[in-house]
Chains A and B, each alone.
Chain A
Amino acid sequence: MSSVDGYSADSADGAGNVASVARPGRFREFWSYFRENRGAVAGLAVFLLFVLVAMFADVLAPHSPTEQFRANLLQPPAWQSGGTSEFLLGTDAVGRDMLSRLIHGSRYSFFIGVIVVVIAATSGILLGLIAGFSRGWVDTLIMRLMDILLAFPSLLLALVMVAILGPSLINAMIAIAIVLQPHYVRLTRAAVLGERAKEYVTSAQVVGAGPLRLMFVTVLPNCLAPLIVQAALSFSTAILDAAALGFLGLGAQPPTPEWGTMLADSREFVLRAWWVVTFPGLAILVNVLAINLMGDGLRDALDPKLKRS
């Protein structure tokens, strides 16, 4: 956010030769930029909180996420008349504790984000490296394939893939990873093309580094900045899209306490029980917002060229 241009470039350039000296300073430099962005720090804090909640869901949740309390159907939250402190955020239509379901739902969100980003990033970076290094027809072929994937609106392509694979959380994650992967290919390829002409790559080549070493050890570390930013952004996209698929009945299947699926169950109670509708969506929004804030901060700190200023 603040203007600190012109200063961040030196440490990145020197990284090839004086890696051992430059590395520890790099993180500290990053952190000093990141820290200045209050929104980003708040986003990071909320995200870490979500991670903790996901890790300790079993301990934190007052009830089981699937246990049905038949005597307490659609009970309002504790502070409304008719609510009890046993069910702080109320219960849903079959008497399950909302709070416990939300706490367990954070596991799914986190799990979805991590798996999707790992699949999309590894395959995308690999293809991007191959395209950037091989050039010629391999490059053209890979990039045309990515153009084809990008011609479909992401959610539509994911929907159709789920129709082929069958509705389940795993299939939804595979579909979303495939949809998000072209962005990594394009970014990696563009970064590789920019780096390849630089002298440190030529010198590594002259010294006799093989193609694999050039790709992964020499060039890739210097292309990471935009990829890390993309990882943060696709983490939040993955959560949103998985929730959307769940909402349409094509993602996680009931009674899984996935937030989007919970919203789908709640649709018929929209006008009768606001809490069944409000809380799962709020959880998605806060989670996604925290990650996007973090992503903005990462972009400003890691990639001065992309600065939103």
Chain B
Amino acid sequence: MIAFLLRRFGTFIPTFIGVSIVSFLFIRLLPGDPIMLMAGERGMSDERYAQLAAQFGYDQPLWSQYFDYVVGIVQGDLGTSFKTKRPVWDEFFALFPATLELSLCAIVFSVAIGIPAGIVAAVNRGKWPDQALMSTALVGYSMPIFWWALLLIILFSGMLGWTPVSGRIDLLYYFPNGTGFMLIDSLQSGQAGAFGSAVRHLILPTIVLGTIPLAVIARQTRSAMLEVLSEDYVRTARAKGLHPFRVNGLHALRNAMIPVITVIGLSVGTLLAGAILTETIFSWPGIGKWMVESIQSRDYTSVQGGLMMIALIVMIVNLVVDVLYGVINPKIRKR
């Protein structure tokens, strides 16, 4: 077990170094001089230029700049935003809870529907529920989610008027930012209707962001279930005359869950990529929208910091999933 953990960490560190090099080089690869970019169209005097170059360390050799950059990351320093002049670290973590809240809701949504759908499809293999569910799943899997979002807005916001089009909560309500999770903060504020408003703002973005993971989870659950259902111990359980519910639910599902959990863990990257589109469409104030805006406004230190932090989050989640997988399934450890 310890050897497995060490081996897994052994691949984490080179990847971390590589990711940090990529995000470090990002600003250096841009056409043009980063300091002139910061100055914008006004330009600047030579003295001011030299002063800024010294301040940001651009007069140092490249390897020493990189070293400072990594030391900065470890200490929670990602530089300051070109645009707002605030620390990128602070900006990132001010917006991160919004993305986390949305992603968690999307995961819950996709698991709550995807796993039962996969089980129903597997148990009815080849019959109409299977075909209907799997065709729907393939449509979901092929969905351009930015278009899906617009369709849902037309239907639920435009025609039915049930859900708001953008934001996290109505402007009527104001309360201090406690946990950063709107669902919790609105409850804690005790204002009537605040929680309901937060929920209504969450529904459409959750569906949009959860659609592709939902399709993937349903497909994965189905194939994992099919594999397990043909095992001897399931046949034995059936032969003993156990209730189908018990056979499918207890004997089969428990063992089918291992690959499904891996898929859920690995869909973090998909979620963060999907958050870029979902947040942009619904004006959801999270890191996805922030990244797009930073790219559009050429706020390159923010882009750099966001790139690094998002990759780091994906890597940590993958690491945790792999380790958990090794804990559940001893066969993996030997590889």
Contact = CB atoms under 8 A, between A and B. Distances in A.
B150 A270 contact: yes
B150 A148 contact: no
A270 B11 CA distance: 47
Given A147-B15, A151-B315, A159 B142 contact: no
A270 B158 contact: yes
Contacts of B310: 152-153, 156
B208 interface: no
B110 interface: no
A45 to B, nearest CB: 16
Nearest to B25: A164
A309 B273 contact: no
Interface in B283-320: 291-292, 295-296, 300, 303, 307, 310-311, 314-315, 318
Interface in A117-176: 144-145, 147-148, 151-156, 159-160, 162-164, 166
Interface stretch (A4-12, A52-60, A207-215, A273-281): A273-281
Interface string A232-261: 000010001001100111100000000010
* Interface residues on chain B, size class: 35 or more
Nearest to A246: B146
A240 B143 CA distance: 8
A177 to B, nearest CB: 17
A250 B307 contact: no
Interface string A20-40: 000000000000000000010
Contacts of B277: 155, 244, 247-248
B146 A247 contact: yes
* Interface residues on chain A, size class: 35 or more
A289 B15 contact: no
B138 A274 contact: no
B7 to A, nearest CB: 13
Main SS of chain B's interface residues?
A: helix
Nearest to B314: A151
A139 B29 CA distance: 27
Interface in B13-62: 14-15, 18-19, 22, 26, 29-31
B12 to A, nearest CB: 10
Contacts of A152: 19, 22, 269, 307, 310-311, 314
A293 B138 contact: yes
B276 A281 contact: no
Contacts of A249: 296
Contact of B147 (A156, A163, A284, A308): A284
A298 interface: no
Contact of A248 (B150, B269, B292): B292
A153 B269 contact: yes
Contacts of B22: 148, 152
A207 B22 CA distance: 45
Contacts of B296: 249
A164 B150 contact: no
Contact of A160 (B18, B147, B281, B295): B295
B269 A154 contact: yes
A118 to B, nearest CB: 22
Given A147-B14, A250-B295, A292-B141, 4 more contacts: A153-B272, A248-B292, A266-B150, A292-B138
Interface of B: 11, 14-15, 18-19, 22, 26, 29-31, 135, 138-139, 141-144, 146-148, 150-151, 153-154, 157-158, 219, 223, 226-227, 269-270, 272-274, 276-277, 280-281, 291-292, 295-296, 300, 303, 307, 310-311, 314-315, 318
7 contacts: A145-B18, A147-B18, A151-B318, A152-B310, A160-B303, A240-B142, A248-B292
